[in-house]
Amino acid sequence: MPMIGQTIPEGTYQTYHRQDIQPVTLQSYRGRWLVLVFYPGDFTFICPTELEELGSLYGEFQKLDAEVLGVSTDSVYVHKAWHDTSPAVKGLPFPLVADSGGRLAQKLGVYLAQEGVALRGSFIFDPDGKLCAYEVHNNSIGRNMEELLRKLQAAAFVRENGGVEVCPAGWKPGERTLKPGLDLVGKI
């Protein structure tokens, strides 16, 4: 199972992006935020809706110096075929990782061995390579990518402020934060 504070898993994986296949080492993202978005498979029903929504928000992730990677157990060749045929996937601005065999999904506790696919898991790693937030859904429940962005914004805010200020439920940039202390106990 994933644990807050665990480091980015080691390993090199193939990605498909912009008509090219490239290797990626997850450790190479240290120094930036890294968002891994696992989905069960290409050519499915919910997956393109999630990835399309994520793609529409990609610029906002980039403003926070975050890289986004979509991850499934499909090969890079299946990623290419999906890219070439799906209107929702065709314009994705981020790479799709081929986690053939589910090695990465296993390391993060989202691999369904019986089916050979990953659960819908979203993972946010901070610039030190430490896991700071994650969520996992049943594969029949689509995620809200705006909420994933909000979690990243909150994590970045807390990091920038050295943990002196924290974000309450539903916090969005520009809203009131909290300064932990005894003076707040019993007053919220």
Cβ 51 vs Cβ 19: under 8 Å? no
115, β-bridge pairs: none
47 carries an active-site annotation: yes
| DSSP single-letter state for residue 138 | -
Identify whether the C-beta of residue 67 lies closer than 8 Å to the C-beta of residue 35. yes
Residue 71 to residue 122: CA distance in whole angstroms: 10
37, 47, 51, 76: which is the annotated catalytic residue? 47
Looking only at the bridges linking them, the beta strands covering 96-98 and 33-38 are unpaired
H helical segments located in the chain: 46-63, 76-85, 87-90, 103-107, 145-160
Q: Which residues contact 133 (CB under 8 A, 6 or more apart)?
A: 4, 123, 124, 151, 152, 155
The catalytic residues are: 47
